[in-house]
Structure 1
């Protein structure tokens, strides 16, 4: 199988402005704030679903409303952060119409969009740097779904 390469140029603007839902638990709060500011500087419309501090909280309290908003089509894409990304990803995928994927490498984010039409990216804030988070988010937002043979598979996901 040919290896796919996803390019990230530092400080490269994401070309199409989007409406993005953003949320985290306490473990992802600082990185969420960085991402919110970075995407906002580029002109994207960001809705911050919380949390709004580093105080301990329950990730489903953010992941459920964000996922519902993405599933309803109110946002182009969603971004969720927690310590490992597992909790927010499991929660997000409980919503019909949400295809949440964990990525700790840009290539995984790109493949989640290309092959799975992922619409929520889940980031493991305790395991990636802010620069890595920017690379991963950038690739996720710049990559389109390939459709074709992948559409047939994606169509079989919902129960």
Structure 2
């Protein structure tokens, strides 16, 4: 199994980062402008990109420390069976976010694309928390010309 890993320091409290990862308003500030269903463990979050997109079931929440989602939709197909985890580590004046997208069946060009896009969106998370301006889809940074 393959996985994507990133780590970014955000000049914000763990509480602020946690809220951005666990509420519809928080998620629309950095990933996509169409999110519904965020909530407690067992909730299904629907992330939409021009009408389609992945669903994730919230599988674990430790306030201000850990957020885990289990892919529960049928698209994209390569994400089936994958899990996303955000580990928050508050240090002095910033919170480090360790992001993992695990359980990929194989490393492919699509996985490489997703790794780069996750970096783009993690920087969007950093932006919204540090400046009040994220770059969620459809205003995210494009990484190809298709």
TM-score normalised to the size of structure 1?
A: 0.34
The structure whose RCO (Cα within 8 Å, separation 6+) is larger is 2
- TM-score under structure 2 normalisation? 0.36
Q: When you count helix as a share of all residues, which structure comes out higher?
A: 1
Structure with more of its chain in strand, by fraction: 2
